[in-house]
Chain A
Amino acid sequence: MIYMSLVRYLIRRGYQSIPTFIGALLFMFILVRVLPGDPARLIAGPEALEEDVQRIREQLGLDKPLYAQFVDYVMTLLRGDLGTSIKFRTPVINEILHRLPYTIALALVAEAIAVAIALPLGIMSALRPNSKLTYVTSVISLIGASAPIFWIALMFIYVFSVSLKILPSSGADSPRHIILPATTLSLLLMGNLTRITRSSVIEALNSNHVLTAMAKGLRDRVILIRHILKNAMIPIVTIMGLQVGSLLGGAIITETVYAWPGIGSLLIDSIFFRDYTLIQGIILFIVLTFIVINIVVDVIYALIDPRIRDVLWRVS
């Protein structure tokens, strides 16, 4: 029963995001049309003859009216075809899938580090207000919100790779290579996560049901886990969902500084090479991923909060 409504809810959310995705496609299409330079000439190379450029233009359908080009574009995308990379002369989707595991690994490790530090820190500083820990917490969240991530990355490289020589600064040759990029990226998430954890634990602490649990004489551990953390999890998961955008955006910058071979550094490289099909393909891929992740987050959100679950699934 519950699975049926879950599936129904998923289908409804997927269906609702179709207009957004078409809008995003249209937006991308317009951006590409505004692009300076002629894509056909770019593919043909600077020394190509005018008739060759014209031939490529016809091949790509660039001589057709704009709406026909958009329809063509959407149809090819629906076949899973993101075009051919101008530089590598291979299908764009292959390049992306080749690099994707690195970005996923980086994002997951960064999220894990952020959670592993932010949750205990947030909880402890909520339980002991006015301690040194609260101070540490606010400094971390301020740095996370105010320091440019590319600069943090460079400072980490200077301290850990150049001065102390204990961690590698670029590439992805061994598991140790992920430590610096993932830690850098996690700083972007840690601040907000710590602050939300702290405030939601404080809110749960002051609620009536926790007071009742205390009055009943339950052990502190039981109260903390069963009554405080369970309630505090809802805003924490919400903020984690909202941070996915930061995570993806931050990954682009982090990967570039550490030469981490994910799709973020591929995007920046392809901008440098003016490989427009690759640029377009990567951006579309990230946007689609972002939309899907947002749906997943909504589902998780509904799963952990019975109040939301009941409302959402009943109407679906």
Chain B
Amino acid sequence: MESELVLKKIEEVRRKRLKEMWEVFKSNKSAYYSLYVVIAIASLILIGFIYTPYDPYDFDLSRVRQPPSINHPLGTDELGRDILSRLMVGGRYTIGISVISVLLGTLLGSILGLISGYFGGRLDAIIQRFVDVTLAFPTTLLAIALMVSLGPGMLSLIAAISISTFPVYARLVRGAVLQLINEDYITAVKLLGRSSWYIMFRHVLPNILSVIVVQSTYYLGFSILLASSLGFLGLGIPPPTPEWGAMISGGRVYLFSSPHIVVFPGLFIMVTALAFNLIGDGLRDALDPRSRMFIRRF
């Protein structure tokens, strides 16, 4: 009976905390509106699965490089394909790849960081040497090297982006765990005889979750830039797939006469990345009052 009351109280406190966080987040106007931007872009991409104004792959040489008009709101590209339709379909690649890569990178990096920080010793040394090696590569260069090695394609892109971003999580989470590990309540659970894995996932992880969530949001923005850069360099998904970076690469030759082919995909990339960065700022203020400094690597 009493333990039930305690649980109820805990639940109440938790709900109040969440509500407070939401209030702080909402008070950050640019973060709050960015949420709507992300929802809008996500809906556009989701609609792209069932309906696009034109066939994104169907080229028609009679309507090549038309500027924006009523029929083609964002114009047509170098092969006469409707740019809006291509952006709607391409988003699932650019954004989808980024989301999956960030999830994988976060998962891998956080687990390694947890193990590294919690167990310490030789395991920590081995993991950290491995992280050292990956950090010895500038991120873009590492991603390029991996793409050259794995060959173009969606799976390679996901592998390349998550491998080039996970070491940062491993470092970040390890640091956060080390700060936490000597807290009294962790010692208390240890004395209760709980297993290491139980303590790690039940008591350590929830306390560093905010750090991970904030970093992941920033990395979503970063991954979109990285994925589209690789696409632009011709190392991403091969044409005719309308990945946003590859679309810019395709229209590059016609910059002189038809800048709209390059402008719109770039705007989509920028607005999406910007929205994630602003949401990241808002989340940081809401979840992590101490506001750690996050360093963005490229």
Contacts and interface: CB of A to CB of B under 8 A. Distances in A.
B122 to A, nearest CB: 15
A24 interface: yes
B277 A146 contact: yes
A23 B252 contact: no
Contact of B149 (A31, A146, A162, A252): A31
Contacts of A6: none
B140 A151 contact: no
Shortest 8 CB-CB distances between A and B: which pairs? Answer: A249-B140, A151-B266, A23-B133, A246-B298, A146-B274, A245-B138, A31-B149, A146-B273
A279 B147 CA distance: 12
A283 B141 contact: yes
Interface residues of B, number: 46
A114 B199 CA distance: 46
A45 B262 CA distance: 37
Chain B interface helix/strand/loop/mixed: helix
B248 A34 contact: no
Nearest to A26: B133
B145 interface: yes
A31 B147 CA distance: 10
B140 A250 contact: yes
A150 interface: yes
Interface of A: 19-21, 23-24, 26-28, 31-32, 34-36, 142-143, 145-151, 154-155, 157-158, 162, 188, 192, 239, 242, 244-246, 248-250, 252-253, 256, 267-268, 271-272, 279, 283, 286-287, 290-291
Interface stretch (B6-14, B19-27, B44-52, B225-233): B225-233
B144 A34 contact: no
A58 B232 CA distance: 38
Nearest to A150: B232
Given A20-B136, A142-B278, A151-B265, 12 more contacts: A24-B133, A24-B137, A31-B149, A35-B148, A148-B266, A150-B232, A158-B255, A192-B296, A246-B297, A248-B141, A250-B140, A290-B136
Given A239-B295, A252-B141, A287-B141, A23 B136 contact: yes
B242 to A, nearest CB: 16
A158 B259 contact: yes
Contacts, number: 138
Given A23-B129, A146-B274, A155 B266 contact: yes
A146 B268 CA distance: 11
A243 to B, nearest CB: 8
Contacts of A267: 144
Contacts of B136: 20-21, 23-24, 287, 290-291
Nearest to B221: A146
30 contacts: A20-B132, A21-B136, A23-B132, A24-B133, A26-B133, A28-B145, A32-B149, A35-B149, A142-B274, A145-B296, A147-B270, A148-B225, A148-B229, A148-B232, A148-B266, A148-B269, A149-B229, A151-B262, A151-B269, A151-B270, A157-B255, A162-B255, A246-B297, A249-B141, A253-B229, A253-B232, A267-B144, A283-B137, A283-B141, A286-B141
